[in-house]
């Protein structure tokens, strides 16, 4: 029986002075704090038996993956299925009293939060992410793999593995910036899941 661990890492803090929902919009890079977060979390893997490293194609995940590449000595594979979830509110301010979601013209997109009606269905996100996890498991069988992705895609993996309903309240997510969600496989089956946030004090 072989043991394989697939680690899902969320990117570090993004430079976003406009405080918009950037989603898949290109060009959003890490802040200086985000770079420090990525470096701190990467150091946790020094000496680990990591044989596969992949990241979403977006700039913030590619930048987060760089210190992991230095620590592990691995090139970063680009996996498009690790990308941020699709969202039709990209480019808008969506939090607080200045949220642009208060405008009635956008209310039809909010009609079904269980799908959700404003973006990529939860089931589709979960399917593509679990497929990415399985590919990583195969690539690193008997060793460890690191996948650098985004909050909602990682949460979809967490909830799938734990047998929870995919629709959820966003404020109940356990997926901090530069955090690590680790899936332990015995052969092809997941036997454990654990979470850590090495950069939480930065």
DSSP states of 30-64:
B-HHHHHHHHHHHHTTTT--EEEEEE-SSHHHHHH
Beta-carbon count within 10 A of 189 CB: 8
- Range 120-147 burial, b when 16+ CB lie within 10 A, else e: bbbeebbebbbebbebbbebbbebbbbb
For 193, the token pair is 């899941």
CATH no. of 3-85+120-196: 3.40.50.1240
pLDDT at 110: 72
Q: What is the pLDDT of residue 100?
A: 62
Note the pLDDT of residue 93: 73
pLDDT along the chain (202 residues), means of 10: 96 94 94 98 97 98 98 98 90 67 68 86 98 98 98 98 95 95 97 97 94
Residue 106: predicted pLDDT: 65
User: How many residues can be counted in the chain?
Assistant: 202
pLDDT of residue 109: 65
């Amino acid at each position: 029986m072989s043991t394989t661990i697939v680690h899902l890492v969320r990117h570090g803090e993004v430079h976003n002075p406009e405080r918009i929902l950037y989603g898949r919009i290109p060009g959003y890079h890490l802040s200086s704090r985000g770079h420090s977060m990525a470096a701190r979390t990467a150091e946790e893997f020094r000496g680990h038996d990591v044989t596969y490293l992949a990241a979403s194609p977006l700039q913030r995940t590619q930048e987060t993956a760089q210190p992991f590449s230095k620590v592990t000595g691995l090139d970063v594979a680009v996996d498009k299925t690790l990308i941020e979830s699709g969202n039709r509110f990209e480019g808008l301010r969506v939090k607080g009293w200045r949220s642009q979601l208060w405008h009635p013209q956008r209310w039809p997109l909010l009609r079904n939060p269980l799908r959700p009606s404003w973006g990529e269905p939860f089931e589709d996100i979960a399917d593509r992410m679990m497929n990415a996890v399985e590919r990583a498991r195969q690539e690193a069988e008997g060793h460890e793999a690191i996948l650098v992705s985004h909050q909602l895609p990682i949460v979809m993996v967490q909830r799938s593995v734990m047998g929870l309903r995919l629709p959820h309240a966003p404020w109940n997510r356990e997926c901090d910036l530069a955090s690590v969600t680790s899936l332990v496989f015995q052969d092809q089956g997941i036997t454990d899941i654990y979470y850590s946030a090495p950069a939480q004090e930065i």
